Amino acid sequence: MAGETPEGSGTPKGSPSIDFDDLLYVHPSDDVLTSIITIKLTGNENYHLWCSAMSRGLKARNKLGFVDGTLTLEKTEASKTSKWERVDVIVCNWILGSISETIYASHVYSDKAKDIWDDLFETYNKVDGFVIFNIHQQINTLKQNASSLSDYYNKLDSLCKEFVV
């Protein structure tokens, strides 16, 4: 019968099957306006958190390859070029939708998701030298029983050695 569904397949006979593992498959609910994470990249201070969340979101949708370089247009069959370009635009919009307006303006004209991803990495995956200096200063000024930490632990080490002997 027409429209008959083979047992267990969920797909009517004669209709093309959907390969959910196809890297170019886009679920109908994952359109251009879908937000895949809830935080927005605002700068160096939350880049690692944003990157982790975004990577998980892309991986869950089988689209991490668009930004990590494993799924490039050059590696895609010629017959699937337009499909790859469409999916890449969707990934671009997911990324652009997850960054603050001030950052958005400098990346909106990028053509590929990987270019945006790499630019964001280059710009925001930096450790602020001033912050590191301040942390070192705080560590160096820590006190225990009115002694610097190194003096305190040297005294403690000496006391321990006396008891061991």
Write down the pLDDT at residue 16: 67
The domain ranges of the chain are 44-124, 129-164
Bridge partner residues of 143 (DSSP): 148
The answer, as to whether pTM is greater than 0.85, is no
What are the tens digits of pLDDT across the range 106-157? 999 999 999 999 999 999 998 766 666 777 777 777 776 777 777 777 777 7
Averaged pLDDT, 81-103: 94
- Neighbouring C-beta atoms of residue 122, cutoff 10 Å: 9
Gyration radius of the chain's alpha carbons: 26
CA–centroid distance for 151 within its chain: 43
Averaged pLDDT, 73-97: 93
What are the tens digits of pLDDT across the range 6-32? 455 454 555 567 877 777 878 776 766
Say if residue 41's pLDDT is above 50: yes
Own/partner pairs, 32-38, CB within 8 angstroms, 24+ separation: 32/89, 32/90, 32/93, 33/93, 33/97, 34/94, 35/94, 35/97, 35/98, 36/60, 36/61, 36/94, 36/98, 37/98
Q: Which residue has the higher pLDDT, 43 or 32?
A: 43
How far apart are the C-alpha atoms of 39 and 98, rounded to whole Å? 7
